[in-house]
Structure 1
Amino acid sequence: MNARLERKLRLLAVVTVASAIGGVAFVVANGLMSPSAIAAGIAYGVFLGVALGGISLFVLEGPMRPWLGSLSFTANLLVRTAIYAAIIVPILYFQLGEIIARVPPDPSRKTFWISIVYSVVFVVLANLVLGIANIIGPRAFLNFVTGRYHLPVEENRFVLFVDIAGSTGLAERLGGIAIHRLLDRTFRLLTLAVVDYRGEVLNYVGDEVIVTWRERSGAVDCRPLRCFIAMRDELSLAAGQLEREFGVLPRIRGSLHFGAVIVGEIGDIKRAIVFNGDVMNAAARLEELSRSVEGGFLASRAGMEQFRSALPVKVRDLGRLPIRGRVEGIDVVGLDIPTAQTA
């Protein structure tokens, strides 16, 4: 199944289950303990969860995503809440939960307004949580909640560094505001490939994005390598639009490394999950060297040896290259792609 669709369906299932639980909690809180009342609460929860979740994931995060993304966090939240309220009110007014559960409707509608307030507050809180998760990253948010990295741990990880080529010259040519917009648009395109190949965006640093995979996940079907190739494909598909809007065609370079990293929470006022270790430093140095290599990409032998399936592209052995911070250097390979295809 397509990774983007799989991710949306998984989220839709989570939202629907949470909504069903919320529906049961509402009827119980109102002292309605009969099986028919609980059935109606579940029906409302499932119906609202599917309706609101479907609208959110396949419309608001689909065709409307570019427009919503141009709004501030607060404005985005208000627009979403207004749309959800427009869905919630008729569902509650026509008592569709009772109809679905085959429970006699309440002609007095004595809980109508309470139900609306409860549903809207529930949706606002859910959107607030999703918004925060989107800001810091869904996996990082989950890791904070579960406390996975509250104490530092050592993990074997693939680390992919991707850099926008010639960003300094682009900044001088476009100006500060335009280069920021270009970087934002470019990173949004690159993120599509990250989702497709089940990577995790660790951080955006200036004109660079860092993506990681755990050992088992990254080794499947050469995901980190395929991700970088897909990133270039996404930029090629959007080339016409980017050139019309900015007058330039951004290019990317990259590096891939594998090894043990230390992962843990750090900081106080602004807590973050950070990766430390020689692997991060070596990957950053390889990215610097990729600027002078045909194909614009370097991967360590240590990383390439983890793949168990056929490589999606030809590579060439570049031997051992010296890098800053390592006396013995590092064995690397490059992509066997002509410069014309990467320009």
Structure 2
Amino acid sequence: MAKLGRPLGEKLFEKEYDLFEKDNFELMGLSQTNKRRWRILRFYMIGWTLACLFLAIVRGVGTQELGLLQFDFPNNFIISVILGPILGLMSGTAQILVEERIYKFMSIQRLLLIRFLYTILFLTLMVITAYSVYQLLFGTSVSMLDFAFDRGSGAIYFYMFSVDLFLAVLRQVNLMLGEGNLAKLLLGRFYTPREELRIFMFLDLQDSTILAERLGHVTYSKLVQDCFNDLGIAISNEAEIYQYVGDEAVLTWPLEEGIESQNLLKTFYNFKQRLEAKRAYYEGRYNCLPFFKAGVHAGIVTVTEVGKYKKEIAYHGDTINTAARIQGQCNTLKSDLLLSEKLKKHLDSPDYTFKAMGSIPLKGKKETVAIFSAAKN
């Protein structure tokens, strides 16, 4: 066990956490959703700027232009640092639109068609933007049509299309690994196991066996898919979606972020409220309103990269097992949300009522665990 003066485990629940400094986004009054959108835009703007700079180096250093327009490296560099962020802004906005408005409402065939139409539109806007930037900075008598179909332009369009596709694929990989984990994985942050203080919440769909038998496997899978799409609201309370296991979802927070502003409690009740707000949709399509129960615990876990041919970022430790066992007591104790006493000590809000449920023996643990229920007032 790593030590910092005292063993890390002894400090876990003894340390009193001060309120964190508000970051620049909060000072500007931006919501968590807008912070996420900004991260997407930033990713695409940086990606496109680097791609344009790479193209500028290839075209401007040791090569000679064959087309009507001559691009030396200094001019190419200026155009790249202006054009790159603009193209990134367009690509990032399109990605946000797809993720938030389109993806879950369309079949893959329609998505491919939209992607094809988007590519044509994007290349058209790229030509117009590039021509405008060049005309503004250097001036030219070449028409936009000649500019668009200049010698060698086909290779440039193919390069731009490849860059856009590559960035879109990277975005999907980032989503599969968890927001922000791709960069950490590439930097080797998870190669060697390391300890973290984390909160884990296990969310389980109630009466899942009955629903699966009544709806059939395909329709039931669509129900679970809809529920987990709506669970995306959890990001507004700093939650990370660790994994989906059948009809169960596992959320996690760094300890400080989970207890700050009662984020872990808000996540559960915001999700519950989201499902209630869509009652008409769920009852109309599935003839039921999905209902989830949750168990929450916090403690030390190790995080590491696992797998050779299929890599995954995995958390290990008794904390995760305990959270799962606490969730398993929800039906027995007739409670929607249960949490450990150690975690409850760090939660204090007039918006919630906590009730001691006693010390419960949990499967696989020698000692009993004190559990509290939480209810929104």
> Post-superposition shift, 1:305?
2.2
Q: Which moved more, 1:59-68 or 1:254-263?
A: 59-68
Equivalent position to 2:374, from 324, 335, 338: 335
Q: In terms of mean alpha carbon deviation, does 244-253 or 40-49 score higher? A: 40-49
Aligned counterparts, 1:92-241, within 5 A: 92=127, 95-99=131-135, 101-105=136-140, 107=142, 109=147, 110=150, 111-192=152-233, 194-241=234-281
1:18 has 2:66 as partner: no
How far apart in 2 are the matches of 1:259 and 1:90? 51
Larger displacement relative to structure 2 (1-10 or 103-112): 103-112
For the aligned residue pairs, the C-alpha RMSD in angstroms reads 2.2
Q: Name the counterpart of 1:341.
A: none
Where does residue 71 of structure 1 map in the other structure?
108
Deviation (angstroms), 1:204: 0.6
Shift in CA distance, 219/92, structure 1 to aligned 2, threshold 3 Å: same
Q: Which residue of 2 aligns with 1:29?
A: 58
Aligned length: 331
Report what 1:5 is aligned to. 34
CA distance in 1, matches of 2:172, 2:89: 19
Hey, what's the Cα distance between the residues in 1 that align with 2:288 and 2:376? 22
2:282 matched to which residue of 1?
Answer: 242
Q: CA deviation at 1:186?
A: 0.5
Please name the residue that 1:291 is paired with: 331
Question: Whole-Å Cα distance in 1 between the matches of residues 125 and 244 of structure 2?
Answer: 42
Q: 1:183 to 1:322 in 2, by over 3 A?
A: same
Bigger radius of gyration, 1 or 2?
2
Q: Which moved more, 1:148-157 or 1:11-20?
A: 11-20
Distance in 2 (CA, whole Å) between partners of 1:231 and 1:91 is: 40
Q: Which amino acid aligns with 2:33?
A: R
Secondary structure of the structure 1 residue equivalent to 2:298:
strand
> How much has 1:81 moved relative to structure 2?
5.1
**Contact 1:155–1:260 (Cα < 8 Å) also in 2:** yes
C-alpha contact 1:322 1:330 (8 A) present in aligned 2: yes
TM-score, reference length from structure 2: 0.82
In 1, the alpha carbon distance for the partners of 2:268 and 2:253 equals 13
- 1:306 CA displacement: 3.1
Whole-angstrom CA distance in 1 between matches of 2:113 and 2:345: 49
- Output the amino acid matched with 1:21: L
CA contact (8 A) 1:92 1:116 kept: no
What is the Cα deviation at residue 152 of structure 1? 0.7
The one-letter code matched in structure 2 to 1:220 is E
Deviation at 1:48, TM superposition (A): 1.1
CA-to-aligned-CA distance 1:280-319 (integer Å, 9 cap, x gap): 1111110110122233211001112234x53642111222
Judge conservation of contact 1:315–1:334 (CA < 8 Å) in 2: yes
* Normalised TM-score (structure 1): 0.89
**Distance of 2:92 and 2:374 partners within structure 1:** 41
Between 1:10-19 and 1:245-254, the stretch displaced more is 10-19
Cα deviation, 1:13-41, whole Å, max 9, x if unaligned, reads 22112212222221221014453332222
Runs (4+) off by over 6 Å: none
Q: Which moved more, 1:102-111 or 1:240-249?
A: 102-111
CA contact (8 A) 1:81 1:124 kept: no
Give the Cα separation in 1 of the matches to 2:46 and 2:353.
Answer: 45
Conserved 8 A contact 2:56-2:73: no
